[in-house]
Amino acid sequence: MSDTLLRDVTIRNVVELACRAPSLHNSQPWRWVADDGGLHLYADPSRIGHHTDSTGREVIISCGAVLDHLRVAAAGAGWQTATERFPNSNDSNHLASIRFWPIDFVSDHERALADAIKHRRTDRLPFAAPPNWDEFETLLRSAIVDHAAYLDVIDDDGRPALATVSRLTEQLRQQDASYEAELLWWTGYTDPHEGIPPTSLVSDAEDARVDVGRHFPGGVQGHRRPGIDRDHSLVLVLSTYDDSRDNVLRCGEALSTVMLECTAAGLATCTLTHMIEIHSSREAVRRLIGRVAEPQVLIRVGAAPQHEWPPLPTLRRDVSDVLEIR
């Protein structure tokens, strides 16, 4: 195989794996371009309706997640990376340029994280409490130390207040026909390669046992995890010093790190942002974490029963639709 062909195949494989990253409603609001200067990540804000994500923050968070997934996928394949964020001051959608070079040694942890990309799923069912949390929290904090995001944990003490914020947010959203229309669009499953399929959603009975989840239409009927009477997860909040694009991108990178570390440790996760999309709810979350910072994303973390079949993966757009090799 020629050097150029080898480069193209490697980049394609790494980008394809990275695109398993989570994104708002599986909208995958990103585009990749590979050229002699490396690999470039662009945001594609046109993919997300602005009634859900009115500020565009969730586009950037999703792109931060795919950027971190890219580095993890590359490391697992034996490539070290150097990332320059916002390399072009004339194009704010050009989020990052990444350069690669081969390395001789891939650690077990790097392999485990790359493997976690394939197994991670957004799990919207109720969770049991995460075991050995204190030890794991220490590990998580050190894993995100370079990402410029703060991590707070809402435990049982703060949970009733968070559940109230979630319920009020949902009530407000029910009055918002444009928001509801966007939600129907992304759960309508017109193209199986984007949006959220019914198999990844929950029934009303299952939803009722998760007091802090976003409500989606169109889940399959069922009463899964009957042994978990209510959700016993911990809720993590990632926040940033401000809402600058740079910090929001870094927060998306931190989200990816948290999710992959959790998956590698056998924990289940579910990203939550409905409470961040509405100003008054976001203020309430800020008060709950008691920090002068901008809450960006919440993550439910817990344990799923081990004997269960893993949830089916949600599909992604074909890599040739999101990657251009020049």
Ligand X SMILES: Cc1cc2nc3c(=O)[nH]c(=O)nc-3n(C[C@H](O)[C@H](O)[C@H](O)COP(=O)(O)O)c2cc1C
Decide if 110 contacts 75 (C-beta within 8 A).
yes
Euclidean distance between CA atoms 197 and 313, whole angstroms: 10
Euclidean distance between CA atoms 19 and 271, whole angstroms: 16
Minimum gap (Å) between residue 298 Cβ and ligand X: 8
Minimum gap (Å) between residue 124 Cβ and ligand X: 5
What residues contact 293, with CB distance under 8 A and at least 6 apart? 150, 239, 240, 241, 286
Minimum gap (Å) between residue 48 Cβ and ligand X: 9
- Encoded one letter per residue, x for contact with ligand X by CB under 6 A and - for no contact, window 132-171 reads ----------------------------------------
Q: Which is nearer to ligand X, 61 or 67 (CB)?
A: 61
Helix, strand, or coil (residue 156): coil
Decide if 213 contacts 271 (C-beta within 8 A).
no
Q: Which is nearer to ligand X, 81 or 281 (CB)?
A: 281
Per-residue burial over 225-234, b if 16 or more Cβ lie within 10 Å, else e, is beebeebebb
Euclidean distance between CA atoms 299 and 235, whole angstroms: 6
Q: Which is nearer to ligand X, 34 or 95 (CB)?
A: 95
- From the list 61-69, 71-79, 95-103, 280-288, the region that binds ligand X by CB under 6 A is 61-69
Minimum gap (Å) between residue 19 Cβ and ligand X: 10
Minimum gap (Å) between residue 279 Cβ and ligand X: 16
The reply to whether 215 sits near ligand X by the rule CB under 6 A is no
The reply to whether 122 sits near ligand X by the rule CB under 6 A is yes
Minimum gap (Å) between residue 89 Cβ and ligand X: 25
The residue assigned the tokens 């016993």 is 232
Which of 19, 29, 41, 62 is close enough to bind ligand X by CB under 6 A?
Answer: 62
Helix, strand, or coil (residue 59): helix
Which of 61, 151, 212, 288 is close enough to bind ligand X by CB under 6 A?
Answer: 61
The reply to whether 274 sits near ligand X by the rule CB under 6 A is yes
Q: Which is nearer to ligand X, 68 or 152 (CB)?
A: 68
Q: Which residues pair with 102 in a beta bridge?
A: 79
Question: Which of 206, 321, 180, 316 has its CA nearest to residue 270?
Answer: 206
What are the tokens at 18? Answer: 């990275």
Minimum gap (Å) between residue 156 Cβ and ligand X: 21
Q: Which is nearer to ligand X, 281 or 314 (CB)?
A: 314
C-alpha 324, offset from chain centre: 24
The reply to whether 196 sits near ligand X by the rule CB under 6 A is yes
Q: Within 12-41, which residues bind ligand X (CB under 6 A)?
A: 22-26
Q: How many Cα atoms are found within 13 Å in the side-chain-facing hemisphere of 188? A: 9
The reply to whether 240 sits near ligand X by the rule CB under 6 A is no
Euclidean distance between CA atoms 222 and 309, whole angstroms: 15
Q: How many Cα atoms are found within 13 Å in the side-chain-facing hemisphere of 11? A: 25
The reply to whether 214 sits near ligand X by the rule CB under 6 A is yes
Query: Residue number with the shortest CB distance to ligand X?
Result: 22
What are the tokens at 137? Answer: 């929290």
The reply to whether 65 sits near ligand X by the rule CB under 6 A is yes
Euclidean distance between CA atoms 76 and 114, whole angstroms: 5
The reply to whether 322 sits near ligand X by the rule CB under 6 A is no
Minimum gap (Å) between residue 164 Cβ and ligand X: 17
**Chain residues that interact with ligand X, rule: CB under 6 A:** 22-26, 58, 61-62, 65, 121-122, 124, 196, 200, 214, 270-274, 297, 314
